[in-house]
Amino acid sequence: MSHHLFLLSPSDTPLYSLTHYSTKPIPSTGSALTSNLPSWSTSAFAGTLTALSGASSATQSHHVQGGAARMGGGQDRHVIQMIANASLDVVEDVMRKDGAMYLKSVDKFNEWMVSAFITPGNMKFVLLHEAKNDDGIKSFFNEVWELYVKTMLNPFHTAHTSIRSPVFDARVRTSAKKYL
Amino acid sequence: MDTHAFASLAHVRILLVPAGSIQPSTFERFASEIRAFDEIRLGDIPADQKDERARFMPNPMATGQLHLSFPSHPPPSTHSNLSLFRPSHFTLGVIGIGACSETETLSSTLDHFNASLADIVPPGSLYPLAKNCFIFEDNGSSTNLNLGDGTSGLVVIPSMMGNKKLYIGTLLADLCSHIIGEFGRLVSVLESPLGNEYLNATMFPILPALSEMPRQLDMGSLPPLPAQHSQPELSAAHTNRSQAGLVLPRVSSSGPGVNPIRQSTLGVPGSRNKRNSGIGVASSPGRLYKVLGDFFLLSGRIEDATIWYTEATVSLKLLQDAAWNASALEGLATTSIMEAWLSGQGLVKSKEPWAEVSDKLAQATTMYYKANPMASDSELNHFYLAYLYSTAAIRQASLYFSIWSAKGWGPLAFTTMLQPGANPYLPPTLSNSEHNTTLNLERLSITSGISRSTVAGHLAQAHGPWLVHLGPTDRLAVLETMASMYACLGYKRKEAYVLREVLGCIMDLLVCGREENRKPSTSPGNTGLGIRNVSLSVPGTVGVRQNESAEGNASILRLLKYVCRVLGIDLEAVKLVHTAEISPEDGETASTDSMLPEDDALEVSQEVYGWPELQIGVIREAIAVAESLPDYLIVAQIAASSLKTMHPVLAPADQQHLYATSGRALTTAQRRGETTQIEYWAGRPVVSVAISTLPFIRLPIEKPMSILKARLTGTNPILTGAIDPFLYNPRKSLLVKGKSLVIQNEPLELIVTLRNPFVFDLELQALSISTSGVPFESKSVAVVLPANMPHTVTLVGRPLQTGTLVIRGCIVQAPGGTPREFALPLSTDEEEESSARKRSAIECEIDRSKYSGLDSRPWAKSSKRLSSVSARFQPKMSHALLECKVVPEQPLLRIRRTTLTHGAVMLYNGEMSTIRLTMENVSTLPIDFLRLSFDDSTTAPAQHALAEGELSVFDTYETEYDLIHKPAFTWQSQKESNNIGAGQKAVLTVTCFGKVGCTSGAIHVAYSYVHRPLAEGAQEPDVFHTRQLTYPVVVTVYHMLECHGMDILPFDGVEDGESEEAEEAEEAEEAADGHRRHLLGVAETGWSIFSIDVRNTYGLPFDVTFSCTQDSKCTPVSATLTVPPGSTSRVVVPVKKFLLSEEHIAKPIPTLSDRQFVVTKSKLTSEEQRTQRELFWYREELFKLIQAHWRESGGTRHGELSLRQQRMTLPMLEALRTDPVEVTMSLVRASDEATPIDKKGGRYDSPANEFLLMKTLITNMSPAPLTLVTDLTMTPSEHLIYEGVLSHIPVGNLQPGQSLELETPLCFLSLGRFELRAEVRHADTVKRAGAGLLKAAVRVV
């Protein structure tokens, strides 16, 4: 099961992204509709369509059940990013009415659930996950927030600077391992 | 196109097709008349059938409507398996629309209609159930109205008919009645055991063509079989009951006579499939109930539909026939909405009346999702299930969407759900673009009680991998529906996501279609189909674009640009320009906008919006789409736009790729004869334009004509460097900033600095200078700018006329693009200030994130930001441009040769030498003006010292004197000609004077062609231009003779030597020197001796001559002596005393320049000042008298020796100046005759012990009257006696020229020498005014 974390600046630019593969099994989708997908066209555009509709990711996840083989992008990274970006619509809508920082499972698209965390500075942490894990995600977000705030203490760091600190990265990974 | 209306299950679809030869516009006109009927009241439907057809007929008094929808095309043939599962999906009726024409008979029109129907409807299809052909009679063309026999399915609508609308309504009602009747027939077939068997055969069964059915089934007139089960009766009973208006009490689940035994077998319908032989065996009625429900729903009989659906769900649930069950639930949901609408237009009290409907739909969706497609024909079942699932999910979403967009549960919501009309996803609440704000969307959410995220959540259910199962058109329909809903919700990013899939779909069809088209078998007649049609047509008959019809490309590109805009990329950042629009006057129009240089500057500080990885991905896709359309111009535009807007985030490889793509695409586009070009895109490459200064010899200098006229002031400009009477001239700085001068017809070099912000080498096809004013001839050059660095290019041009040349900037053209002018205004102070203000405003805002998300896209944000808003209100500033003045052609002179070797001259101090310069006029113009000016290394420090003004008056004078009277170089201009003809030569002679401290000098030759022939009527120009030549000279001056210790001693005549004889002997010996002796022997007073030490510091002996030339009475005297190297010699020259007049002395020390003296700084008393003036003037006078020259001993070199270093002291002055009072003393015997005493050798030879009379004659020589006293001294006083007082003898007032003689009697008492002195003093100041001396020798007589 994989998780994708994106830290988005107010101008929708990702400042940090993380793909985390946990050892937990993927909950089976259980639908016949997603299986036996035909390869209906060979053109490049069909490939885009297949990827965007989530077909390729679904087939991939069916093909390789083991965790190790999925490394290196079983899921199309571009599609993941598109989904994260698209989910911002819902996140922005919901955060306007809901004062909470943690928006759990605010959106669902193509098997992906999207949870978000809005900092007071209008940074958005977007997490794509496949299974419900509300408490874990909440704790994870809180830890990431703390790490982010510590990064922001750097006077040279603005809301639009991408985070390249290896320490930040390592700690977020640890936290992901712990909660996700 | 499928519109996925919520109530599509209740819609009777009627297809409108053109019949015969009808104009598309005519067809559209009539079709729209028919389409106006979106519902038909049940009461209007004729219900005259009596047989089984009457089963679904409405009650005579029934209220309610039959909902019609008019799709543009029938469902694709692949959907035929759904014909029983979802009859509402198919076109139940077909109306042919024809027009009366003179060429066609009605029958032929009908034939044509039937034929085209056969094309449209796949063979063996159940539908359409009814067809008709409406022939509209057009105005006045009623010729062929012969209704033949074979025209049963044809109605002619005359144009003259008054109430055409009503008539059409009636015709439609007839058609509907027909359709409803056919429902009855169909059901009767299905009710038969065989039919039921077919119905339950597979998951999505099809009824074989009616001809294949058993005979009796085909005969509609036969009564249905009195079958094993009681369905017909039951249904009839139902019908009757409902017709009677009875409310049917709910019966138990087995109510309509279901045999529960069947359940076990029906559980595995797949196995049943194999036993087709066993048709006739009764099956479960569950599916039949559902079909009944469908038909009742279509017939507008909602109550019956509800009943049958409920029955169906109950029985199907038991059978676990998920798909059918779900479909029944969908039907139920539809019916409940319809019911709610019919009963009081949905005025319900409950809070969420749609909850129940939504639940049903949710159930249905889940069932479809979980339904297990049979293994045998899984391919198709997958497709159907996916389709049904998506439809159901969309149905649920559209329920919420309708309620949301209609501001809640009300008539508007029902209308949206039931009769969506042409724009189903643009509800009236959102149709106005002004209302489409977040605020308004939010308001909809609040009034309706449904949040946007809920709608989006339901809609997202329809999206998933199963979309791959769908056929291309269905997928397109589903995706389009989703996209439009997201758009209305204001979820732009989700919309963009889906639109990308839509694009993928369309492009896939396009590409595949093209590949199919390559097969030679395809007929070329099918060309010209636009992309729209491609997407709409049935697979297999995919449209072909052979001649590259661009129709529809624009729509695809619009989608593309929209998607990119949502992701924050402006694909139209670079505009397309028609080549034809670029006219020569373009420069004028461009002048206004290009004056704002900030507009297109690639701001480094520009904030980055969006997700770079996504943006790059989308751009790549966009390029791929545009390439495969193919629209190469757009490819170039996309590539250039993304380079322009996104180059800060693009990786080098991407930039290079995009650049290459754009170049390639432009080349292709141009090769294909594209007349449109992309505008210049590569940022603002031009950093600056500067006029390269002309080489010094070519540089013209402007002079006013007036300086050629008489020189008014005699001031020598060399003193001050420049003629400026003010110490501080505020206008000086303005003068310096004059326009630079450029010469007509001579090359002008412009240095253009360019900058390339990209990582690739930017190629500029043309770079040229944009000018206005005087015509300027220049060529454009092609430049390759190296990556990421500034680059300098020199452009050469030639101004063709005189006047003002304005250099506006540069015109830059990228390969294949249009030229673009970049103006380069000179930055003035206020402009600098405003740009600095703007910059700081931007910097201030750069990290603020007030607007997030889509509002922070660059173009959205910039409109709100203060920096840009305030900039708009700023007054438009006029920009100054680089200007230069083009002056007429000028001659050109060069130095051909000189007499100097290596340009060096070596001189002794004070030596003169000449330099000859041979000049050649190398131009075609004559030179009629020539001036020489000089410069040497001593002038600048002297000028500087003068300018500082710290020097004393005396020093100032000395310095000025040095500058004016002793220049290092001089030119005798009057001796030489000023004219040099074209191509001629002239020699200039310059005198060079050796001055110590001079190390280098320069000869400046200014020349011009002043007196040009004037054009007729032209005014005499008030300026002319000169050019300059400079010849540097290295000067070495040896300092060899030093004068010091100047002294002036009083000289009272030569005291006789010891003896007269000796003296006389000397006289004889030195006859040659007699003159000097004579000089020294002058008896009278009034001489002084000038002496000076001359030291030779050089290695060669020099002869030094000092000469004194006094007034004409005296013969000039001179002294010459040789000064050996290293030694010092004293030179002595007698100088006659002189007296300067009072007026002469009263003059202040002059300044030779016209410098402004504000305050005299001296704090001396007037007495001291007078003394200073005296010193000054006497010194001046002395130097006029005494000339010093040197000559190389045994050589020819000679020169002057300057005495100006010498200072004059007060004693020297006293010695030099003649006293104002002349005192002459003489001795006479004090006898009566008063015989004078003999004088010998300047001494009176007086006797001793004899009374003598000393006469002292005091004469006032001064021009003023003097009051004097006299003191007498006699030494040795003890050896003589005298009478009277010696001191303070009053002389009294003497008028000028007046004399007074004092007589003092005395007697020498001893032998010896006596000195008698008289000193005349001013009576008041006790200052010495004159003195006299008398020497007497008393001897033995």
Confidence of residue B239 (pLDDT cuts 50, 70, 90): very low
The answer to whether residue A45 sits within a structural domain is: no
Q: What is the pLDDT of residues B1189-1247, one digit of tens each?
A: 898 888 888 888 888 888 888 888 888 887 778 888 888 887 766 677 777 766 788 88
Find the mean pLDDT for residues A80-96.
87
Query: Is the pLDDT higher at B870 or at B55?
Result: B55
Separation in Å, CA B374 to CA B83, B205, B322: 18, 13, 12
- Tell me if B504 and A109 make a contact (CB, 8 A cut-off): no
Closest-CA residue of chain A to B494: A86
**Minimal CA separation from B77 to chain A, in Å:** 18
Q: Please indicate whether, in this complex, the C-beta atoms of A11 and B373 are within 8 angstroms of each other.
A: no
pLDDT of A126 > 50? The answer is yes
Identity at B341, one-letter amino acid code: W
Q: Where are the beta strands (DSSP E) in B937-1067?
A: 969-971, 985-993, 1000-1008, 1023-1038, 1041-1051
Interface A:B, Cβ pairs < 8 A: 188
Search chain A and give the residue with CA nearest B460: A109
Neighbour-count burial for B1254-1265, b at 16+ CB within 10 Å, e otherwise: bbbebbbbbeee
| Tokens found for residue B416 | 């949206």
Q: What is the radius of gyration, based on Cα positions, of chain B?
A: 63
Alpha carbon distance B658, B653 (integer Å)? 9
User: Mutate which of A62, A80, A93 to test chain B, going by most B C-beta atoms within 10 A?
Assistant: A93
Which tokens is B704 given? 């006013």
Pick among B493, B609, B846 to test the A interface (most A CBs inside 10 A): B493
Residue B348: what pLDDT?
Answer: 57
Has residue B274 got a pLDDT over 50?
A: no
Enumerate the residues of chain B whose CB falls inside 8 A of the CB of residue A13.
608-612
Residue B654 has pLDDT above 60, yes or no: yes
Radius of gyration, alpha carbons of chain A: 17
Residue A141: pLDDT band with limits 50, 70, 90? very high
Report yes or no on A58 lying in a domain: no
Which whole number is the average pLDDT over B461-474? 82
Kindly state the average pLDDT of the residues B968-975. Answer: 77
Taking an 8 Å cut-off on Cβ atoms, the answer to whether B610 and A11 are in contact is yes
With cut-offs at 50, 70 and 90, classify the pLDDT of residue A48: confident
Contacts of B486 in chain A (CB under 8 A): 89
Instruction: Give the three-class secondary structure for A97.
Output: helix
Choose among A13, A93, A109: nearest Cβ to B463: A109
**Nearest C-alpha of chain A: how many angstroms from B654?**
16
What is the token pair recorded at B767?
């770079």
Q: Which amino acid is at B876?
A: K
Q: What is the number of helices (H) and of strands (E) in chain B?
A: 37, 45
Report CB contact under 8 Å: A48, B385: no
From A13, A44, A57, residue closest to B609, measured CB to CB: A13
- Which pTM was predicted? 0.68
Is B613 in Cβ contact with A78 (below 8 Å)? yes
Asked if the model's pLDDT at residue B922 lies above 80, the reply is yes
What is residue B1016's DSSP assignment? T
Whether omega for the bond prior to residue B128 falls within 30 degrees of 0, making it cis, is yes
Percent of chain B with pLDDT over 90: 0
d(CA B419, CA B8): 9
What are the chain A neighbours of B469 within 8 Å (beta carbons)? 33, 37-38
- Number of structural domains in chain A: 1
* Burial grade of B735 (CB within 10 A; 0-12, 13-18, 19 or more): exposed
Q: Which residue of A has its CA nearest to B378?
A: A36
> In whole angstroms, how far apart are CA B52 and each of B59, B204, B554, B1137?
15, 25, 53, 164
Q: For residues B178 and B53, what is the distance between their CA atoms, to the nearest angstrom?
A: 9
CA distance A167 to chain B (A): 24
Q: Is there a contact between A55 and B852 if contact means CB atoms under 8 Å apart?
A: no
Chain A residues whose CB is inside 8 A of the B852 CB are 10-12, 92, 122
Q: Is residue A29 part of a domain?
A: no
Q: Which two tokens stand for residue B673?
A: 């004869």
**B366 contacts on A by Cβ (under 8 Å):** none
* The predicted structure's pLDDT at residue A143: 92
List pLDDT tens digits, range B360-398.
888 888 888 877 666 555 567 778 888 888 888 888 888
Provide the mean pLDDT of chain B: 75
Residue B614: list chain A partners with CB under 8 A: 78, 81-82, 85
The answer to whether residue A43 is domain-embedded is no
Inter-chain touch A30–B370, beta carbons under 8 Å = yes
Q: Which of A9, A11, A52 sits opposite B504 (nearest CB)?
A: A52
Tell me which chain B residue has its CA closest to the CA of residue A110.
B464
**CA–CA dist B403, B444 (Å, integer):** 9
Residue of A8, A55, A78 lying closest to B465 (CB–CB): A55
User: What pLDDT is recorded for position B241?
Assistant: 37
Is pLDDT of B580 > 50? yes
The answer on pLDDT for A159 being more than 60 is yes
CB contact under 8 Å between A12 and B496, yes or no, is no
Asked if B16 contacts B22 with a C-beta cutoff of 8 angstroms, the reply is no
A145: in domain = yes
Look at residue B820 in the predicted model and tell me its pLDDT.
79
CB-based contact B397:B455 (threshold 8 Å): yes
Give the whole-angstrom CA distance, residue B1080 versus residue B1077.
Answer: 5
Q: Which residues on chain A are in Cβ contact (under 8 Å) with B323?
A: none
Tell me if A39 is assigned to some domain. no
Q: Range with the lowest mean pLDDT among B340-349, B689-698, B957-966?
A: B340-349
Nearest by CB to B497, from A41, A57, A86: name it. Answer: A86
Query: Are B508 and A30 an interchain contact pair (Cβ–Cβ within 8 Å)?
Result: no
B635 has pLDDT over 80 = yes
Reported confidence tier of residue B51, pLDDT bands at 50, 70, 90: low
Q: Residue B146's pLDDT is what?
A: 52
Predicted local distance difference test score (pLDDT) of residue A116: 92
Contact at 8 Å (CB) between B1272 and B1316?
yes
Phi, psi of B1327 (to 5 degrees): -90, 150
Peptide bond before B1013: cis, by omega within 30 degrees of 0?
no
Looking at the domain assignment, is residue A84 inside a domain?
yes
Rounded Cα gap, residues A106 and A88, in angstroms:
10
- Residue A108 belongs to a domain with what CATH number? 3.30.450.70
> How far is it, in rounded angstroms, from Cα A6 to Cα A17?
4
Task: Give B975's DSSP letter.
Answer: G
Q: B843 or B902: which carries more pLDDT confidence?
A: B902
Is residue B263 very low, low, confident or very high in pLDDT (cuts 50, 70, 90)? very low
Contacts of A11 in chain B (CB under 8 A): 607-610, 849, 852, 856
Q: How far is A152 from chain B (nearest CA, A)?
A: 13
Q: Which residue has the higher pLDDT, A152 or B1015?
A: A152
| pLDDT for residue B524 is more than 50 | no
Q: Which residues lie below 8 Å from residue B764, measured CB to CB, with a gap of 6+?
A: B685, B754, B782, B783, B784, B785, B812, B813, B814, B815
Nearest residue to B1092 (alpha-carbon basis) of B1084, B1104, B1083, B1100: B1104
- Residue B830, pLDDT above cutoff 50: yes
Please check whether residue A51 lies inside any domain of the structure: no
- B638 in Cβ contact with B622 (< 8 Å): yes
Q: Which residue range(s) make up the domain with A93?
A: 2-23+74-179
Cβ pair A48:B491 closer than 8 A: no
CA B1250 to chain centre: 117
Q: Please state, in angstroms and rounded to a whole number, the distance separating the CA atoms of residues B376 and B270.
A: 8
B507 with A45: Cβ contact below 8 A: yes
Please report the ipTM that was assigned to this predicted complex.
Answer: 0.90
